[in-house]
């Protein structure tokens, strides 16, 4: 069964272009030109991803993102015509997984779509579905933190941590490389599996902040994820 992707953008040319590229890759597409029209689809259809514009007249992409996150954890990619960091950070804070600034290159968009779907599918695999030759430990234990990679469960002092797929992957990488500093660029490339990275990209920074909030720690006095200024992030041995 093909992956089902929701597109919401009031710019018809953009929505139609995205639809064309997605259909050419074999995806099933649900396309809407307004957020309110998309709401019934969100409620009635089983979706695998949403690609949505931020600036829409009837309901903003921020509001739609918030609505989706009330019940669903599939990836959300935000489209913005602005190159303003506040829009990107707001979207990520509300639960978006990635953003693309208009105008964008269709091949870049497809790379990001595929990367998000790969991670989402891997995150939702059952233990039986995980590859038998998967490298590394299936369970990582560190100072009250327990991560089961195969079941995609994470506990802190026996309390479940409700992580998004992106947050889970960031924490997994840092735990597997504990004792070593991992740069934001390394995290980005390992998670998104593509070459599109800018020094001004705040995606990893925002996800790290969310992780810390869920783990009840701060950047000023972290117990787990430490910032090595100008270098990256580190979990001590």
3-class DSSP state for residue 120? helix
157: tokens are 């002092």
- Rounded Cα distance, 26 and 150, in Å: 28
Residues with Cβ < 8 Å from 21, sequence gap 6 or more? 106, 109, 110
- In 124-202, which ranges are continuous DSSP H helix? 165-176, 184-192
Flag whether pLDDT at 132 surpasses 50: no
91-129 pLDDT tens trace: 777 888 888 888 888 888 888 898 888 878 877 765 455
178-205 pLDDT tens trace: 999 999 889 988 887 765 555 556 888 8
- The pLDDT > 90 percentage for the chain reads 46
């Amino acid at each position: 069964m093909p992956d089902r992707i929701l597109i919401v953008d009031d710019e018809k040319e953009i929505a139609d272009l995205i639809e064309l590229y997605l259909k050419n890759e074999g995806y099933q597409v649900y396309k809407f030109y307004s957020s309110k029209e998309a709401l019934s689809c969100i409620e009635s259809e089983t979706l695998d991803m949403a690609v949505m514009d931020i600036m829409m007249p009837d309901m903003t992409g921020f509001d739609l993102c918030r609505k989706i996150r009330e019940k669903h954890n599939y990836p959300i990619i935000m489209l913005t015509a602005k190159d303003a960091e506040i829009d990107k950070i707001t979207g990520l804070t509300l639960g978006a997984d990635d953003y693309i600034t208009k105008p964008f290159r269709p091949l870049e968009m497809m790379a990001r779509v595929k990367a998000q779907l790969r991670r989402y599918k891997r995150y939702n695999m059952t233990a039986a579905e995980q590859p038998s030759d998967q490298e590394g430990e299936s369970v990582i234990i560190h100072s009250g933190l327990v991560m089961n990679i195969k079941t995609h469960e994470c506990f802190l002092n026996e309390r479940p941590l409700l992580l998004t797929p992106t947050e889970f992957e960031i924490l997994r990488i840092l735990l597997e490389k504990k004792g070593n500093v991992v740069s934001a660029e390394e995290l980005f490339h390992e998670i998104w599996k593509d070459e599109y990275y800018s020094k001004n990209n705040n995606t990893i920074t925002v996800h790290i902040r969310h992780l810390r909030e869920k783990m009840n720690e701060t950047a000023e006095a972290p117990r787990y994820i430490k910032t090595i200024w100008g270098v990256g992030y580190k979990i001590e041995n």
